[in-house]
Structure 1
Amino acid sequence: MNAELVAHDAPYRATRREEIKVVAGASVGTVLEWYDFFLYGSLAVFFSSHFFPAGSATAGYLASLATFGIGFVIRPLGAVLFGRFGDKVGRKATFLVTITVMGLATVGIGVLPSYQSIGWASPALLIALRLLQGLALGGEYGGAATYIAEHTQPGRRGLATGWLQTTATVGFLLSLAVTLVCRAFVSGDAFASWGWRLPFLASLILLAISVYIRTTLSESPVFAKMKSEHRLSDSPLRDSFLVWRNVRAMLVVLFGAQAAVGVVWYTCNFYALYFLTTTLKVPTSEAYGFIAVMLVFSLPLYVLFGWLSDKVGRKWIVLAGCGLAVLTFLPIFTQLSQAVNPRLVHFQQTVPIRLAANDCSTSLFGAPVSDCDKARDFLTQAGLSYSVESGAPAGGLVTHIGERPLASFDATAYRKALVDAGYPVMTDVNQINRPLMFALLGLLMIWGAMAYGPMSAYYVELFPAKIRYTSISVPYNIGAGYFGGLAPFMSTALAVRTGNVYYGLWYAIIVGGVSVVIGAFFMRETMDVDVSQ
């Protein structure tokens, strides 16, 4: 960057060509970050048995998912660590570090020896790699959003950062695509044995490309100007967390926007996939194909709503997307059931399922133990709602599938009783009402894009330049990591606890609804803010 541009009081304005390079450079790295992160979740079912002691396959899978959750838990610490680094040292250097750490940690999982080879060192190293991934991801988003916005001309920040908002979806798509390609060329047994490592190793290519592109970028002009004028914060953490104006802004954006955006985006994307495969029994390959089509459909929507926020403002687009989502989740998913698996809906309406047990507590943090716990888990995985009542003899369990009583729990007997009563074990894909299904999934994608598309620009405009990296990263990662990251667990826990497959949506509805109300009263509009200050 020309030094004369920094020396003048007038803020630096990148050309359109430079903007495109900046957006591409920042976004391609963030795609890799999300690709790496999602890859673990999608392949955990294959590699869980390699890194944990042999025995219970369910326990190993749960342990691998718990390790996945560590990546969410550690993200706010990464936000603090790399946020301070970004506000003190520079935007470019920081997100070069984050992408390198993330990429190498992912490749490390691909070459990690199994538990059978090195014992307990294997899960210990896996946890360490997941911690590194979570730390790096905690520092990536704030840096990329800040870097793009600080290069962008006024009136175009929503449009430019809207491209960044597509990266989570692109990363998710890329992880699915690479996995499917690898599975197409490797047999099922070989993929379970060693083929699952290939998608992790493939990230080395993406890492090399991303690092090369980012090394060609210049430092953010806003940061360079602050540095030349000696306006950098001496302590970004102190200025972020001990100045009430900034603390208030972080609290408002966390509880008034990001909490809702987190649960809405995860529900519209990941919960939709879970609902199709687990609840509605759509074959996995078909469900992935449906969601992939809709993810492609959603990509331009993030840019569209980012652009629209440049015209009418950020606040009400974000809140409208979240509000429409929480108001329509229940009817959308109810109609989705009817469109995708009407036989299952008919079965539920005509064959009531009742669990009679005097003690039917559930274990949410481990493998099912009691008969009632096992029955609940079995029925939830079958996509079936049920009611629980007292009255079983001698504290045991009696399950009524229609008029047929079954004493205690036996998976084979349950499965036979369900089939005999007309339960559809798998969706008949030829009977799916595809126009209605895609219309309903399309609404979910629109709500998610409305909520998420303008958020980068809003974050950047909300905080002063000298503490922007830190102040963006912390509330974003708490909201996305804790509120959004808890969505899969809380949704499943609510469904199991209540016996209703739709009650899992209430987590997103309640969190999102409360957040929208807070945001409506306390969020301020920011689209005309000068980001150089």
Structure 2
Amino acid sequence: MYSSKGKAVVKVVSGNFLEMFDFMVYGFYASAIARTFFPSDSAFASLMLSFATFGAGFLMRPLGAIILGAYIDRHGRKKGLVITLGLMAAGTTMIAFMPGYEEIGIVAPLLVLAGRLLQGFSAGVELGGVSVYLSEIATPGKKGLFVSWQSASQQIAVVVAALLGVTLTTHLSAEQMTSWGWRVPFLFGCLIVPAIFIIRSTLQETPEFASRKKHPTLSEIWQSIFHNWRLILAGAAMVVMTTVSFYMITAYAPTFAKNELKMSELDSFLIAMLVGLSNFFWLPVMGALSDRVGRKPLLVGATVLTVLTAYPALIWLVSNPSFSHLLIVELWLSFLYGSYNGAMVVALTEIMPIEVRTTGFSLAYSLATATFGGFTPVVCTYLIHVLGDSAAPGIWLTLAALLGLAATLFLFRSHPSMAGKQTSPQPTGF
């Protein structure tokens, strides 16, 4: 039983690894990508365009959540997860092999944008599809632990992407990294696609979905989304905290370390790798803890601590920049992220109506990333530039935590049973 479920977890999160690996690589090499596809006399303008393209991919997530989510809720978890993998691979390939601006002009950044939009469309339902799959195969009383592996698999992607960055930075010059070195991680992503596709194609349908006699039609899915719009918006507000914190301490961290703290690329990649390992540890630990004490204590505790410490920690860091100080701040924020996300993702699967569980989860998650989380690197860059305050990203994270706290209190007041340990199916809406 446990062996077969363990294999199923590995199979389903393998594609999730690729999705996050591609996003991390783009964030880590934003500066090099900016010079390749978005040349400008202003380094700030070039970086802003690169990060804006990174964020643009998230704008497609809600559309992917609705279209692909409806497909998964109607036709099955397995079929939909195989489709999302193919779309993600296509977007990655476009970016990896795209000639630069100097070779083909304006067509280059436009096609890179198209690749990011395709990735975003696929990712719109990837997280939801994986999370729902894990929640439906979970051993009773261990749903938090099982679902936490969705996020934990992303951290492996962070570590691998950072490790590649350390290796490339050590062996290549800055000029080589800018001209072609940044493409190597994307090529790596392309090479592992066939293996991941084979692994995911052997997935079995979840027993819960397979046992249902009737699956919703498209019109019924739309009606349920409309009926539960308050639930979906509240869920999106709850997700904001996790997406902003994650992209701040991972995708944006190397750029922040290099531009604001004046650290080497090697140091910034080492930090990112250590943060990924920290996230990987805390996520399943906190997911399992939420099975014992309930979701609410972790969600409230993590958001309150973030509100109290995020900006002061950044102020202390920029006033005393060093490798050790950056590591301390990043590991603290990693602990807060892991505590919150370990409980948040499983809670989101539990509050969604079963007949539109994938669509509702994916739409809530996608709205959060499209409006807040995915644009964290560009917002942080802009805030620092406008306010003249290198600690300004702490303000953005504080606002996200306040929103997450408010959404948590609202949702758990509407669903009182969620405040305790989760061992039974949850209500299907307001």
TM-score normalized by structure 2?
Answer: 0.90
Aligned to 1:161: 147
Matched, 1:264 2:245: yes
User: What is the Cα deviation at residue 472 of structure 1?
Assistant: 0.3
Aligned to 1:451: 340
CA distance in 2, matches of 1:461, 1:471: 11
Contact 1:322 1:512 in 2 (8 A): yes
User: What is the Cα deviation at residue 112 of structure 1?
Assistant: 1.7
CA distance in 2, matches of 1:441, 1:188: 25
Contact 1:261 1:322 in 2 (8 A): no
Computed over aligned residues only, the root mean square deviation of the Cα atoms, in angstroms, reads: 2.5
Give the match's secondary structure for 1:454.
helix
User: What is the Cα deviation at residue 440 of structure 1?
Assistant: 3.7
147-156 or 269-278, which moves further after superposition? 269-278
Q: What pairs up with 1:77-476 in 2 under 5 angstroms?
A: 77-226=63-212, 229-243=213-227, 246-255=228-237, 257-270=238-251, 272-337=253-318, 339-341=320-322, 434=324, 438-476=327-365
CA distance in 1, matches of 2:161, 2:154: 11
Q: Residues 271, 320 of structure 1: CA spacing in aligned structure 2 closer, same or farther, 3 A cutoff? A: farther
- Residue type of the partner of 1:140? E
Superposed CA deviations along residues 424-469 of structure 1, whole A, max 9, x for unmatched, are xxxxxxxx6x3x6544433211101011112221121111221011
Contact 2:100 2:108 in 1 (8 A): yes
Number of aligned residues: 422
Superposed CA deviations along residues 317-361 of structure 1, whole A, max 9, x for unmatched, are 1221122111111222233345535xxxxxxxxxxxxxxxxxxxx
Contact 1:322 1:448 in 2 (8 A): no
Q: Residues 45, 269 of structure 1: CA spacing in aligned structure 2 closer, same or farther, 3 A cutoff? A: closer
- Residue type of the partner of 1:480? T
CA distance in 2, matches of 1:191, 1:272: 18
Superposed CA deviations along residues 23-60 of structure 1, whole A, max 9, x for unmatched, are 11111210110001121222232233443567666544
Q: Residues 507, 272 of structure 1: CA spacing in aligned structure 2 closer, same or farther, 3 A cutoff? A: same
Q: Residues 531, 28 of structure 1: CA spacing in aligned structure 2 closer, same or farther, 3 A cutoff? A: farther
Give the match's secondary structure for 1:453.
helix
User: What is the Cα deviation at residue 141 of structure 1?
Assistant: 0.4
CA distance in 1, matches of 2:371, 2:328: 30
Q: Residues 56, 89 of structure 1: CA spacing in aligned structure 2 closer, same or farther, 3 A cutoff? A: same
CA distance in 2, matches of 1:57, 1:297: 32
CA distance in 2, matches of 1:111, 1:19: 37
User: What is the Cα deviation at residue 291 of structure 1?
Assistant: 3.4
Q: Residues 333, 105 of structure 1: CA spacing in aligned structure 2 closer, same or farther, 3 A cutoff? A: same
Unaligned runs of 5+ in 1: 1-14, 342-431
CA distance in 2, matches of 1:192, 1:494: 26
1:496 to 377, 382, 385: 385
Contact 1:80 1:237 in 2 (8 A): no
Q: Which has the larger radius of gyration?
A: 1
Contact 1:142 1:473 in 2 (8 A): yes
Aligned to 2:401: 512
Aligned to 2:424: 529
CA distance in 2, matches of 1:296, 1:231: 40
User: What is the Cα deviation at residue 271 of structure 1?
Assistant: 5.3
CA distance in 1, matches of 2:326, 2:384: 22
Matched, 1:30 2:11: no
Contact 1:264 1:325 in 2 (8 A): no
Q: Residues 483, 56 of structure 1: CA spacing in aligned structure 2 closer, same or farther, 3 A cutoff? A: closer
- Residue type of the partner of 1:253? G
Q: Residues 275, 200 of structure 1: CA spacing in aligned structure 2 closer, same or farther, 3 A cutoff? A: closer
Q: Residues 58, 520 of structure 1: CA spacing in aligned structure 2 closer, same or farther, 3 A cutoff? A: closer
CA distance in 1, matches of 2:333, 2:308: 12
Contact 2:254 2:268 in 1 (8 A): yes
- Residue type of the partner of 2:239? Q
CA distance in 2, matches of 1:197, 1:174: 15
- Residue type of the partner of 2:383? L
CA distance in 2, matches of 1:492, 1:191: 22
Contact 2:61 2:367 in 1 (8 A): yes
Q: Residues 314, 68 of structure 1: CA spacing in aligned structure 2 closer, same or farther, 3 A cutoff? A: same
- Residue type of the partner of 1:235? S
- Residue type of the partner of 2:151? Q
Unaligned runs of 5+ in 2: none
Contact 2:299 2:408 in 1 (8 A): no
CA distance in 1, matches of 2:268, 2:278: 15
Contact 1:85 1:94 in 2 (8 A): yes
Q: Residues 486, 55 of structure 1: CA spacing in aligned structure 2 closer, same or farther, 3 A cutoff? A: closer
Superposed CA deviations along residues 355-410 of structure 1, whole A, max 9, x for unmatched, are xxxxxxxxxxxxxxxxxxxxxxxxxxxxxxxxxxxxxxxxxxxxxxxxxxxxxxxx
Which structure dedicates a bigger proportion of its chain to helix?
2
Identity of aligned residues (%): 28
CA distance in 2, matches of 1:168, 1:250: 24
Contact 2:162 2:272 in 1 (8 A): no
Q: Residues 277, 119 of structure 1: CA spacing in aligned structure 2 closer, same or farther, 3 A cutoff? A: closer
Give the match's secondary structure for 1:480.
helix
